[in-house]
């Protein structure tokens, strides 16, 4: 790990360690906002007292909201990954976030933003389970 960090700093400077940070921040804020906005709105619409929501309903709702928020924001994650992966390389295909967006759209089309989304959605199952267990635990406090 030290070797990797050293190579990036040597080739790109300290700024290379933060390549893609703004896209990562946008992704994190947007996905959380969409997820919790959807989850809390639907949960309180379905049940006056969300403490009465069965565990399986909570799990399915959280999984659905994670998939929706992930699908909505996955292009941001794609841009973030591409910017991060060019750190330490001699030739950088992207200058910044906007350049990355425009080159992906121009050269690969919009479907390129969603490559790997299905795998990522399957991975989110554990996150949905954690959220459901957390809300189940809160029922007993």
Name 77's Cβ contacts closer than 8 Å, sequence gap at least 6. 23, 27, 120
Q: 75-98: b or e for each residue (b if 16 or more CB lie within 10 Å)?
A: bbbbbbbbbbebbbeeeeebeebe
Domain boundaries, the chain: 2-138
Considering the entire predicted model, what is its pTM? 0.75
Q: Which helix (H) or strand (E) holds 32?
A: helix 21-46
User: 70, 14 in Cβ contact below 8 A?
Assistant: no
For every one of its 141 residues, what pLDDT tens digit does the chain have, with 9 covering 90 and above?
788 788 778 877 887 777 778 878 888 999 999 999 999 999 999 998 888 889 899 889 989 999 999 999 999 999 988 988 887 777 888 988 899 999 999 999 999 999 999 988 888 788 788 888 888 888 777
Residues 26 and 80: their CA atoms lie apart, in Å, by 9
Fold adopted by 2-138: Mitochondrial carrier fold (1.50.40)
């Amino acid at each position: 790990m030290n070797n990797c960090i050293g190579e990036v700093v040597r080739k790109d400077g300290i700024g290379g360690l933060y390549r893609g940070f703004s896209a990562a921040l946008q992704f994190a804020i947007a996905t959380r906002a969409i997820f919790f906005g959807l989850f809390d709105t639907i949960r309180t619409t379905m049940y006056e007292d969300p403490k009465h929501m069965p565990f399986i309903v909570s799990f399915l709702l959280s999984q659905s909201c994670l998939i929706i928020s992930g699908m909505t924001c996955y292009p941001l994650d794609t841009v973030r990954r591409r910017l991060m992966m060019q750190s330490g390389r001699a030739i950088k295909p992207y200058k910044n976030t906007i350049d990355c967006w425009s080159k992906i759209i121009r050269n690969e089309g919009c479907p390129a933003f969603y490559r790997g989304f299905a795998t990522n959605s399957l991975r989110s199952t554990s996150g949905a389970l954690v959220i459901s267990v957390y809300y189940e635990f809160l029922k007993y406090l």
